[in-house]
Structure 1
């Protein structure tokens, strides 16, 4: 949901959302939260028509349209909640070589012979009932936990049943409850879209304006940034990096690269500093972070500037120097004599 209260034919009102007014987006994410495809909901009666597809309702049509970019018969598995699940959509995905698992509403199971809620309540917490429908292509599983939930899947059933620990309020103890396999797999694979929404809302750029398309544009930039961070975390795991940088630091590093890479140090525009209020004194032991690698090696406008006070060299860490790179804002050795040190050149070369 992209918040927006201005005038637009795409604006929707969703009373159950934290931000009730705005643009609704449909998205297809993997389990890690990486967004692969999305489109904008355009209102009632504007469901996306896919060639050769029967009407599967709004939710079903959305799932099939977002899965059009997936290769057929490659073993892809799709997970969604009860808003999207229905038999027509599941059969359409099955005919395209895509497996499906999700929760489903009771009014969409077409009177399948599952045990009633009262029967499962008598058996107690962890009881379940499973039936196969539509020539054994679709399996329905009803599970009793705190409440009953019905699952539909084209490749999973209740077997094998595993144990899971739950808290019993009446006895005030933890007990072991049977959990069907379809529920276990669904819980592991679902939540990618919610994770993406949460990460996009953390450091989102706040804008105000009347041009509705700018809100969608800036939201796509936010999604691109979060997607890049997900890829960065995956590469850190592959390369054995224990502590990847958090999203806030990653986002600021990307912004710094775009602002400084291949660009000279721009002169100050506006009033001279002498006419402005003097900046607050820096704290003792102030540390200047190193510039991004892309900025350090771009070979644009890196010049040494002499300072009155000396500081430790950022490259070698042994000597003290008064020379500082005006673009990278770090001290570097530039010492002639019998034992010359040119950390300035080495630092900007490799």
Structure 2
């Protein structure tokens, strides 16, 4: 075919993706709390794009990367076409996969805002994407970020004993402020107030935007299928 591209596995939908991306970004990035994560589109057919993710509700399908606000609004997305996907940019191929994804997702944000305005934004992502080089680069760009990290990617490790009480935490350089939270205590058999690092609370509050978007898309699809089969009214009764 005329538009075929052997190097881009998603070439058949690339134009549609680019058009969709332009539409969702036309009003700018109006949310300052953003998260990067992966999504799955359920698919059982034959394609080299199909992935298996045991931790997702839809374990088999096509994996997408997404950038979302905390309310689930989608600002950017792309199809995962493999570790050496050239569509993310040749200059990023030397970076780790997680770093490439984050930089690709926030590229419109970095190019569209000044450093002063960029300081108003805060990016959240999990330990799949985290690397020291990425954090240093984001800091140099003026973009704040909060993320989790895998044990094998840090030199300093904090181990916890099995009998450590709930709410225990260990830090290297100190952490402030501390936010009070209520958790259930087995010893007291009631919810008690504990001191909790505020960075953890913010991460828990703002990290779920992509999962929320994924959930709403699947819920909308389910409603359309029920309407098509005349079953929606039955479930509402």
Q: Same fold (TM over 0.5)?
A: yes
The answer on whether the counterparts of 1:102 and 1:186 sit within 8 Å (CA) in structure 2 is yes
1:96 aligned to 2:141?
yes
Match of 2:11 in 1: none
Return the match for 1:32 from 57, 62, 71: 71
The answer on whether the counterparts of 1:53 and 1:92 sit within 8 Å (CA) in structure 2 is no
Match of 2:124 in 1: 79
Deviations 1:122-170 (A, max 9, x none): 66332323235xxxxxxxxxxxxxxxxxxxxxxxx73111211100124
SS at match of 2:142: coil
Match of 1:196 in 2: 213
Change (3 A) 1:11 1:100: same
| C-alpha distance in 1 between matches for 2:167 and 2:122 | 26
Match of 2:195 in 1: 178
| C-alpha distance in 2 between matches for 1:164 and 1:78 | 23
TM-score w.r.t. the length of structure 1 is 0.47
Deviations 1:224-253 (A, max 9, x none): xxxxxxxxxxxxxxxxxxxxxxxxxxxx9x
- Whichever structure has more helix as a proportion of its residues is 2
For 1:192-271, what aligned pairs fall within 5 Å after superposition?
192-204=209-221
Whichever of the two has the greater Rg, that structure is 1
The answer on whether the counterparts of 1:79 and 1:186 sit within 8 Å (CA) in structure 2 is yes
How far does residue 198 in structure 1 lie from its aligned partner after superposition? Answer: 1.0
1:167 aligned to 2:184?
yes
How far does residue 173 in structure 1 lie from its aligned partner after superposition? Answer: 1.8
Q: Which runs of 5+ in 1 are unaligned?
A: 133-156, 208-251, 253-350
Return the match for 2:170 from 129, 147, 158: 129
SS at match of 2:67: strand
Aligned length: 182
Instruction: Say which structure, 1 or 2, has more relative contact order (CA 8 Å, 6+ apart).
Output: 2
How far does residue 50 in structure 1 lie from its aligned partner after superposition? Answer: 4.3
Change (3 A) 1:52 1:60: same
How far does residue 22 in structure 1 lie from its aligned partner after superposition? Answer: 1.4
Match of 2:46 in 1: 7
The answer on whether the counterparts of 1:25 and 1:38 sit within 8 Å (CA) in structure 2 is yes
The answer on whether the counterparts of 2:84 and 2:93 sit within 8 Å (CA) in structure 1 is no
Change (3 A) 1:2 1:206: farther
TM-score w.r.t. the length of structure 2 is 0.67
Q: Which runs of 5+ in 2 are unaligned?
A: 1-39, 228-237
SS at match of 2:195: strand
